[in-house]
Amino acid sequence: MADIHPFRAFRYDPQQVTAAYVVTQPYDKITPALQDRYYAASPYNLVRIILGRREPNDNPANNVYTRAAAHFRDLRQQGILRQDSSPSLYVYSQRFTLPNSTTEHERRGFIALGRIEDYSAGVVFRHEQTLAKPKADRLDLLRATRAHFGQIFMLYEDSGQIEALLAAANPASDASDFHASEVQTKDDYGVINRLWQITDPALIDSVRAAMQDKKLIIADGHHRYETALTYRNESRDNESRKNATRAAALSAPSNLPYEFVMMTFVNMNSPGLHILPTHRLVHSLPSFSEDAFRNSAHAFFDVDEIDPALDAPRATAILRESGRAGTSILAVTTHRAFLLHHPNPNTPDVFAGVSIRQQSLDVVQLHKCLLEKVLGLSEESIRNQQNLTYIRDAVEALSQVRATDPPRADIAFLMNPCRISQVRDIAFAGDVMPQKSTDFYPKLLSGLTIYALD
């Protein structure tokens, strides 16, 4: 089912630039402070392409997208970006420790082109909804540059055969020889990223054959995938208008460049695959009462009041233990803390239109029962993050809700991470999760490989 291809990636020339100064986090993870840091790091940093600065006098002829295209063209002409001579796959390793941990992990995948498929084809599956504004932005960038700079993080499932193929063919990529990679760089979060090029046609054919029966789940990159899908459809329409005799042929699969997008494939059974929780901060409510929250939450959960002085490690331990029996959410206010568990099964009206699989998710219980019913937030306000902030770090979440001068949040909701089995089951069932339900860690860097359509 999955149709993957090697490609001749554009890569930064290590003789002219150091990877650490030019590659970036994914565009949607680049904060204003990180954007400034990238701009200062190097005039060749990829940020000028994927998230350039807007200027007051921007116009149709000179704007963030036209400047990105010009910068990409200049990097190619100057030889800062060079195209590999052979169609290749690229093994991608990330060695990291999880936040607030000292245990080292390694996650491995490989980069290739993947055919862009409609969701209805049953090959590529999503697990999250997308928003129109980010897709419009990425589409304008793709139209201007005709290139893909970031990775679509794709999950496939097997018992390790593909990983074994790639490892056996490249002994230098063994963890015992950590410094033998072609590219190695430490990112903003201390993650060591390494890349190896695979050019052996026989090995590439073996990997392609092994991937043919795989279904793919988008772990990260939903907006970029759907942008590539829109661009593919636009390109097909343009080809049909230019050459009507080719219209019928274009309705069948072809190997034109716009039919593919760059993907990093990771085995969902890999021990290096980790999902972090994304906590919620609710702020700027017209009125908020801790007693009123507790009383209203009783309609949906068993509620236990616990030590309000708990720290992040203790909160994580409580959630982990309570979560063994099912849904568990910690609600922390300035002065109090509540453990919400054992959802009330007698509130079916709350989940109208929500599948049984979705109802089993902590994040759905949180959104439908607590955010919408107890706190009165509308789906639209949640989608637009009017009173809601997403935050990865439990320490920071607790700090924000406990700040009193000025108050920064009314209540923090701490959660357990979603399980990969839940992501798989939801995706294959055709369901989706609320925004920010999963945080696959670490993120895939942008700029290690670039796929240009021409």
Instruction: Going from the first residue of the chain to its last (454 residues), give the mean pLDDT of each consecutive group of 10, the final group possibly shorter.
Output: 96 96 96 97 98 95 97 98 97 94 94 97 93 92 98 96 86 46 90 96 96 97 96 93 62 85 97 95 94 96 96 95 95 96 84 88 94 94 90 93 85 96 94 89 97 97
Do residues 231 and 319 share a domain? no
Do residues 383 and 332 share a domain? yes
Do residues 271 and 283 share a domain? no
pLDDT value at residue 251: 55
pLDDT value at residue 316: 94
Domain that holds residue 180: 4-275+441-452
Question: How far is Cα 127 from Cα 439, in angstroms, rounded to an integer?
Answer: 12
Task: List beta partners, residue 114.
Answer: 4, 261
The pair phi, psi for residue 441, each rounded to 5°, is -125, 135
Do residues 261 and 308 share a domain? no
Do residues 362 and 412 share a domain? yes
365: phi > 0 → left, psi -120 to 50 → alpha, else beta; which?
alpha
Do residues 183 and 287 share a domain? no
Tokens of residue 371, six digits: 């955010």
- CA gyration radius for the chain? 23
Q: Show Cβ contacts of residue 83 under 8 Å, excluding neighbours closer than 6 positions.
A: 8, 9, 10, 11, 452
Do residues 59 and 167 share a domain? yes
Q: Are 322 and 372 in contact (CB under 8 A)?
A: no
Q: Is 436 domain-assigned?
A: no
Do residues 232 and 133 share a domain? yes
Interior angle at CA 209, CA 204 and CA 213, nearest 5: 140
pLDDT value at residue 245: 55
Question: How far is Cα 321 from Cα 319, in angstroms, rounded to an integer?
Answer: 6
Q: Is 426 domain-assigned?
A: no
Distance in angstroms between the alpha carbons of the first and the last residue of the chain: 26
Question: How far is Cα 388 from Cα 390, in angstroms, rounded to an integer?
Answer: 7
pLDDT value at residue 120: 95
How many other C-beta atoms are found inside a 10 Å radius of the C-beta of residue 311?
A: 11
Do residues 287 and 203 share a domain? no
- The CA–CA distances, whole Å, from 425 to 125, 127, 128, 131 equal 11, 9, 13, 23
Give the predicted TM-score (pTM) of the model: 0.91
Question: How far is Cα 194 from Cα 92, in angstroms, rounded to an integer?
Answer: 6
Q: Is 421 domain-assigned?
A: no
pLDDT value at residue 175: 44
Domain count, the chain: 2
pLDDT value at residue 179: 43
Q: Is 428 domain-assigned?
A: no
Question: How far is Cα 344 from Cα 82, in angstroms, rounded to an integer?
Answer: 59
Name which of 203, 210, 184 is nearest 195 in CA terms: 184
Do residues 89 and 102 share a domain? yes
pLDDT value at residue 155: 98
pLDDT value at residue 384: 84
Do residues 197 and 295 share a domain? no
Name which of 429, 437, 356, 376 is nearest 129 in CA terms: 437
Q: Is 432 domain-assigned?
A: no
Q: Number of helices (H) and strands (E), helices first, in the chain?
A: 15, 21
Q: Are 386 and 376 in contact (CB under 8 A)?
A: no
Q: Is 431 domain-assigned?
A: no
How many other C-beta atoms are found inside a 10 Å radius of the C-beta of residue 131?
A: 12
Question: How far is Cα 24 from Cα 448, in angstroms, rounded to an integer?
Answer: 9
* Strand boundaries in 402-445, DSSP class E: 411-415, 439-441
Q: Is 212 domain-assigned?
A: yes
The H-or-E segment that residue 210 falls in is helix 201-211
Do residues 224 and 314 share a domain? no
Name which of 52, 212, 58 is nearest 123 in CA terms: 212
